[in-house]
Structure 1
Amino acid sequence: MKCCYLIILISLVIGCASQPASQRPKPELPQLTMEELTDDAMMSEEFVKENLSIVEKKDVVILQKVKKQSAAVKKIENTSLNMHSMNLRYSKKLYDFWINYLTSRFRDTFQNHLGNALKYKDTVMQILARYNLPKELFYVGLIESGYNLRIKSRAGAAGPWQFMKSTAIHYGLKIKRGVDERNDLIKSTHAACRYFKDLYNIFGSWEFALLAYNKGEYGVIRAIRRGNSRDYKVLVAQKLLPRETIYYIPKIVAARDIFNQMDQYGFSGQSRTLATQEVSVQVAKSQTTPRPKVVYKKHLTHKVRKGDTLLGLSQRYAVSLAKIKQSNSLRSNRLLKNQKIKIPVKVSYYTVREGDNLTLVAQKFGLSVGKILSYNSLDSEKIYPRQRLVIPVLL
């Protein structure tokens, strides 16, 4: 049978839900007008009983058999499962957290991500359509890499889809001296589409497919078996998934909504670097716009908070990672909570005038309000006439 092992794996996922509904813990996530997951006809009790000896084998053995059938799986273009429909459920609380984070603390970097995404959107969407995949998968690349084609994680994942080396090679990408096709937008997107299709064919649910993309197939299968359920909400309620994985789907949805409503959230349709250059040209032509003339070298002090990384600080303050490490005599990228990091920057100063507010000042210099607050260690947006503000010089 062509898809025998694929069916066996799906039966494992379904078979884990044998616990009576009345004994399951009540899910904490709200029901958000999404369609309930439906059972497939081949998941009958008779099928599971016939394959019980196989179902009880270790996860690794099952997945190895599924991978041997990957060539056959890829030929199934018209699957009976509703691959094109992406009904995602998520915590409203976590969704609100990501909306707030992406539009405030992470705003400057996310503006660049949005600019990159706009540049590559048509190309990625065309490839997704070719594989008959949901267009919402475009936003996975947005949160994975911000469509930075050269980005590489500490774990070794690279490119816009953040492929690990073994997964990339499995899906046909070449990685050798001087060549890494994970950084090739078109080739890596084709590979990502094949990977998405395989994950969906394994789990029969986009919720689980996305979780597996983030955590790996083995991790999701182990969570399903420990929770004795194939309901995503139940596994989240039982905390059988890591926090990063639980946050993954709300983050995708939040990024999607911001992308589709940039004006509402105050983002522009281009990268922040380009936008800043254009604003600088416009400001230079205006005689009424005051520009600081003297540039000073300065060290800002940043107190490390939970979640901070050197790479994040580098992006936040637009200073190279090497310069930050050099200024602090750091030999590694490790940061400790409450550690004070010196940020070498070039700044100018602006004296607040009557009628100024922080939004107007930010617009004058092509900066975000958050950036000025950060550079001046301000807790609120209140400013006063004759107050001296530090203005970062963007190079």
Structure 2
Amino acid sequence: MNRYFLLLLFPLLLSANLTFAVNHNKEVALLESFDIDPSFIYDPVMNKMRNKKTAIYKNKHFFKAMDKAYIFIPAIKRILAENDIPAEFLYLAMAESNFSTRAYSKKRASGLWQFMPRTGKQYGLKIDKYVDERRDLVKSTEAAAKYLSHLHKRFGKWYLAAIAYNCGGGRLSKAIKKAKSDELSVLLNSKKRYIPSESRFYIRKIIALAMVGQDEQYLMNSEYEHLLNRANAYSISTVQLSSGESLRRVSKIVGIPLKELKKLNRHLKYDFVPPYEKAYDIYIPYVKLNEFKRNYRPEPIRNIYKIHVVRSGDNLSKIGKKYGVSYRVIMDFNKLKHSRLRLKQKLVIPIDSRKKFKTISTRHYYMVKRGDTLESISKAHKVSVTNLKLQNHLKSSLIKIGDRLKINE
């Protein structure tokens, strides 16, 4: 009987051992990709964190984050590969931002890779009133790849590049000099505190996240099994839009909800691309690329945005407040070199077409200044003297400084 029971149990034991061996080999390979000695697999702090993380992330949080980033993870992995950076650095982005392109920290770090403004600009990311390319999932990843490559070249090991990404190259150099070693086990000494506690936590967190992300057995038995095929499934395409083009129009052309299109283009601060570029990159799902190529044709901005005709009393600040747009945006869109406006000048205002605005009243009032006459006022506003008299119940052409005249154009 016992022999029969063992025969039944043997395949299960064999399968369990094979699974353990496969997982162990994957974990060792993961550590080696970071240039970490395989013995780190037994690091007690990392394992405690890993077990804790496994419990937390298997409670949906980890895989929900992966699922939300499902469409652009292949693009991130491709950029890392093109720059000879281990694919496991994908989890550095997760540690930084939880795969959120709109993540923002108290220290003003932003985007998927949590670039500070200065570092972002140093690596070619534009940050202005129209865009924040730290939130651009492609450009920010390319910048992060360049930065990581630089750190790896400087320190020689990938785990050091990851630590430097967190605490800064200068801080790490001082730590290595003080410790007289760049070995991970030495730098992680909690009593000596060569590197900040945040950095000691950080490198372990990346490894723990990567190990949870490689848990294929869990994925295969969960609602997130499709994540196993993410490298071959969804992806994004880069397309170029003309100056000032609206995302709303593109969403209609390619048949994708505006909300989904905005998620892929968090780097745009408005619902349009910058007016200072002849062509600007945005991202659409790859499956929509042919539809975009067939149907997209650039249109003049005036066919998309509000045209405001300047009237008496208007200024850029007042117009901007009316439409909910910065006066600087109006200046840029209309290529204005100064803030002076002229009557009946046409301004293109980039606004959300769903917003409702009150019709601009043609009724204005004019305050009489020194030297004014009814004739000069009528010429300036293209209204007859008779009309002015009738509107303001004037029996003669005499007017005084400070009089408030009603003008209907």
Determine which structure has more spread, i.e. the larger CA radius of gyration.
Answer: 2
If the TM-score is normalised by the length of the shorter chain, which range does it land in? 0.3 to 0.5
